[in-house]
Structure 1
Amino acid sequence: MSDPQEDAKRVAKILRSGDYDYDGSKYLFKLARRQAGLEPPKNRKNTVDRMTKEETERFIEAAYGTDGRRGLMLRTLLETMLRVGEFVSLQIEDISLKENLFIVRDGKGGKRREVPITEALSRELRLHIGGRNTGPLFQSPRGGTYSARRIQQIVKETAQKAGIQKRVYPHLLRHTMATRIVNQGMPIEHVRKVLGHESIDTTRVYAETATESVKESFREAHSEN
């Protein structure tokens, strides 16, 4: 019988050497469970982890405090809710600043979806792009694309600088913004399309996490007393 600790070390080595992002790691474990004949865990959470509004503001302030380019990069990652693999693959040709849209092709077969961006982010990206017409939206210091692992490191470093105690990683930014737009009333089906979820059930977890409607009901109940 194999040693679970040794197996865990081997899996960790594969994840490190393969430069897997959040979704890639999740898929790898799912595949391993299937091949081993193991059932997935039954006790799935009905909420997701996220940053609070205060933590999010501190995070973005810390990013811009490092330099404007890092600030814009992490603001874009946050507001577009892209998976880190999708984010590092973004090319200038994938963006329509006149329409305020990103054209995203996910890493699970190249399915295409449109992700809207705000006018404010579009203006900042226009200044960042300047006269370039092709190439990565955010070039690495060497002129190529960032690796998913480097983006993970940048997110972690920025969270530490912001004094955020919880573990912060790229997918947490996705959770944070998805919960925010559900709180602000965006229909769950529209949220599903922007996130690129195949099943609406995957998206509903953000409705479970959203707290504004719960707080509003709480305030209304107390105002009647």
Structure 2
Amino acid sequence: MPEPQKDAKRIARILNDGDYDYDGSKYLFKLARRRAGLKPPDNRKNTVDRMTREETDRFIDAAYSADGRRGLMLRTLLETMLRVSEFVSLQVEDVSFEEGLVIVRDGKGGKRREVPITESLSRELNLHVGGRNTGPLFQSPRGGTYSARRIQQIVKETAKEADIKKRVYPHLLRHTMATRLVNSGMPIEHVRKVLGHESIDTTRVYAETATESVQESFESVLASSGHSL
């Protein structure tokens, strides 16, 4: 007879010991389903979790309050919408300050994409890099690269300091920023390219999620105009 509790603990141990990030975990489960001859669940939700604008502001403020370097690191993770595995691999030479771009090199087949960054973030990163021309964009305290697990811990710690009650993890920052871009009118195809999605269908979920923030936008407009519900 199957023992779900024991099996769940085994799976959790594998994910933890293997240092899998969000995408790695998804891929692992996909392979396991295929090996077992199982079909993916049909009840896929048509929205993704995200932080509200207020929560996002509190999160970034808490990061900068803790340490300016941590603030810049998490701001970069949020605004570039990189997967945590891509983020920890970023090198100084992957940032084009003149063009305002971050070059993301995907290990899967050597794919490459360009992610635009704001002038403000570009200036701050330039100051952070200083005279360095090579090496990790964000060096760990030991001078090497951060592990994906450590970034996950930093995100979790910062969310706790910001008093955000929901579970906050690196991929949630990606969801949050992608939804904001779609909600602001950025074409879905452009969002797809920035996120590095193979299929436009994967990106469409952000359009669905954007409609969820209509109430939030409505209340914000009323507040700024001096009205209330």
User: Which structure 1 residue ranges, 5 or more long, are not aligned?
Assistant: 220-225
What value does the CA root-mean-square deviation take over the aligned residues? 1.7
How many residues align structurally? 219
| TM-superposition CA deviations, 1:203-224 (whole Å, max 9, x none) | 00000000388458999xxxxx
Distance 2:125 2:213 in 1: 33
Matched, 1:146 2:146: yes
| 3-state SS of paired residue (1:211) | helix
State the match for 1:68 in structure 2: 68
- Other-structure match for 1:223: none
Helix, strand or coil at the partner of 2:103: strand
Structure 1 runs of 4+ with >6 Å offset? 216-219
Q: Percent identity?
A: 84
Cα 1:212/1:123, change in 2 over 3 Å: farther
Separation (CA, whole Å) in 1 of partners of 2:169 and 2:153: 8
Write the distance in 2 (CA, Å) between the matches of 1:82 and 1:179. Answer: 14
TM-score, L = length of structure 2: 0.92
**1:179 counterpart residue number:** 179
Moved more, 76-85 or 210-219: 210-219
Contact 1:46 1:209 (C-alpha < 8 Å) held by counterparts:
yes
CA distance in 1, matches of 2:126, 2:13: 40
Alpha-carbon distance in structure 2 between the residues aligned to 1:122 and 1:213: 29
Equivalent pair of 1:136/1:145 in contact (CA under 8 Å): yes
Letter in 2 for 1:56: T
Match of 1:27 in 2: 27
1:96-111 to 2 correspondences below 5 Å: 96-111=96-111
8 A contact 1:183–1:212 mirrored in 2: no
Q: How does 1:1-225 map to 2 (within 5 A)?
A: 1-211=1-211, 214=214
* Distance verdict in 2 for CA 1:28–1:213, change over 3 Å: closer
Task: State the Cα distance separating 1:107 from its structure 2 match.
Answer: 3.7
Q: Is the 8 A contact 1:85 1:107 kept in 2?
A: no
Q: Which amino acid aligns with 1:35?
A: R
CA distance in 1, matches of 2:173, 2:214: 22
